Amino acid sequence: MYLLPSNDSVFPIAASPNALANVSLLPPPSSDTCDNIDNCRTLYNIVWSCIVTIFACTWVAIHPNIPPQDAHWAHKLGRRVVTTVYAIIAPECVVLWAAKQWFTSRRLAEKYKRKHGWTQTHGFFTIMGGFLPLLSTPVHRDTGVHAAPSLDISTLPFPDITSREIQDRSKGDWFSKGAAILQTSWFLVQCIARRIQRLTLTELELATCAFAVLNAVVYGLWWNKPKAVDCLYAIRRTIRSLSIDLTGSDARASRDPQASSPGRLEKRRGTLRKLSWSNPKKIIVATVDRTWRFACCWDEHDDWYTHVNPYYSGHGGDEGRALTLIAFASSSAFGAVHCIGWAFEFPSHTQQILWRSCSLAITCLPLLTVSILVVSKGIRPSRPRWLRHVLSGLIMCIIVAELPIYVAARITLLTIAFLSLSSLPADAYRTVSWTNYIPHI
């Protein structure tokens, strides 16, 4: 055989079978390659772990309010899907929703703990629309027809139900919550371990870490809230009648003996269908007050209590500043996690610029909003009226313009996270071996 040195001179050497056997046709092993099946992962493994974790942080973690009793299964599923989409695009809104319900439920629990033995679970159950005033209509003396009720909320008896009975209605138990927490914890641990060992962390994994961080806050706030409850707790009482006659289906429904049994609601399909699709401001919302009153709104033609707004979280107390701080802090924290990928490798320079710009946008826009609100409160009443109107209009325009920018930045980050999977470095497929022993999906 012949060897070609750097001076281009050719000279023969003796070739032997042993010498040829020592010649390797493969390049020397590199620390960046992944050739050990026990310490490697595939692109499918990366995407699957991220999707499962995002699913645990949205669909599994959300504890919805109780839907209408006669709602079709497609209507209930649609509410869950829409809420999940909201949670993916703006997870800080779910944090704010959970935080407001936590404050309200704690306030109700403290208010009725000494006299009625309430816990925060009772408060959550009230806010999510778990108590239904079930009315039994007496017969009118003159006409002999069942009369429409006149609602006197102050005469409602206080609900007699324990925390254990409420949790028994919940579809979530310690196993489902523990599985979601374990999956989220494993994902965070293995991402941190990859950075410690200087292994590549994909943009999709980084975006999933942001969901996992906020999910920990949501789970802590909703830990005592029942999940996916379908059946209400009926509060029965007899009410006084009016001189209004019921005819047709209304009269037949009022004569139904099953209408006054606990856990059952009269199936007034026309009324409930209108209520379920009406303006949210006209949907009934319920909460507890000193004499067990309900803050409610009802349909223009019917005043039967049915369900609460899907995102109802109780009446606000004195925690407005705390909720504002939680909302903007969670938004900025979500964006700050994306800023960790500032120096990541991207398939193109354009994607890198977009990632950096969108990360800064979702991090700084909440802080800008807070600054604008502070400035708006600092406008002195002594200023000319036209100037105050101009400044207020300008501030409102800025806040409104921030919303589409924020949503577009969030969608752009998710899109880039998936596009970057097309060209990953070799060490992105290496795993931290000891994290495989942590139970996960």
The C-alpha atoms of residue 371 and residue 373 are separated, in whole angstroms, by 5
Tell me: pLDDT of 47 over 70. yes
Report if residue 343 sits inside a domain: yes
Confidence of residue 10 (pLDDT cuts 50, 70, 90): very low
- CA torsion 410-411-413-417 (nearest 10°) is 140
Q: Is pLDDT above 50 for 240?
A: no
pLDDT for res 152: 53
Residue 271 lies in a domain: no
Residue 220 lies in a domain: yes
In-domain check, residue 310 = no
Q: Is the pLDDT of residue 166 over 80?
A: yes
**What is residue 52's three-state secondary structure?**
helix
> Is residue 91 within 8 Å of 334, Cβ to Cβ?
yes
- What is the domain range of residue 83? 39-136+158-238+280-285+316-437
Q: Are 206 and 413 contacting, i.e. CB atoms less than 8 angstroms apart?
A: no
CA 34 to chain centre: 37
DSSP designation for 42: -
Cα Rg for the chain, rounded, in angstroms? 31
- pLDDT of 160 above 80: yes
Query: Model confidence at 97, in pLDDT bands (50, 70, 90)?
Result: very high
Task: Tell me the mean pLDDT in the region 206-233.
Answer: 90
Q: Could you give the number of structural domains in the chain?
A: 1
Residue 303 falls inside a structural domain: no
Lowest mean pLDDT among 14-28, 78-92, 125-139: 14-28
Angle at 342 (CA atoms; ends 336, 343), nearest 5 degrees: 145
- Alpha-carbon span 82 to 97, nearest angstrom: 15
Query: Is 269 a domain residue?
Result: no
Mean pLDDT check: name the lowest of 34-48, 51-65, 299-313. Answer: 299-313
Q: What is the pLDDT of residues 139-159, one digit of tens each?
A: 344 433 333 444 455 667 788
**Would you say residue 1 lies in a domain?**
no
In a domain, 216, yes or no: yes
Given a cut of 50, whether residue 214 has pLDDT beyond it is: yes
Query: Is residue 352 very low, low, confident or very high in pLDDT (cuts 50, 70, 90)?
Result: very high
Lowest mean pLDDT among 17-31, 103-117, 324-338, 391-405: 17-31
Mean pLDDT of 253-264: 38
pTM over 0.85: no
Please check the confidence at residue 109 and state whether its pLDDT lies above 60. Answer: yes
User: Per DSSP, what are the bridge partners of residue 171?
Assistant: none
Copy the structure tokens of residue 353: 């610029």
